[in-house]
Amino acid sequence: MQTVVEGNSLRLTTDASVEGVSPERERTRSEGQVERKRQRDELQQEIQELFSDLWQVPRFSGLRSGFRPHVDCFRTEDSLTVLVELPGVDPATVDLVVAEGNLYLAGKRERPRGEGQVYQQMEIDYGTFRRQVALNADVDVAKAQASYDRGVLTIVLPLAQRPATLERVVIEVTAS
Q: Where are the domains of the chain?
A: 11-63, 71-113+124-175
Name every residue whose Cβ is closer than 8 Å to that of residue 153 and which is 6 or more positions away in sequence.
Answer: 83, 84, 86, 89, 91, 94, 105, 146, 147, 173
**pLDDT exceeds cutoff 50 at 61:** no
* Confidence at 103, pLDDT banded by 50, 70, 90: very high
Average pLDDT of span 132-150: 93
- Percentage of the chain with pLDDT > 90? 37
Instruction: Please report the pLDDT score of residue 60 as a whole number.
Output: 46
pLDDT range class, residue 125, cuts 50, 70, 90: confident
Positive/negative CA dihedral, 106, 80, 146, 69: negative
CA dist 85 and 151 (Å) reads: 6
pLDDT at 143: 93
CATH of range 71-113+124-175; options 2.60.40.790, 3.40.1370.10, 3.40.630.30, 3.40.190.10: 2.60.40.790
Residue 161: pLDDT over 90: no
**How high does pLDDT run on average in the chain?**
80
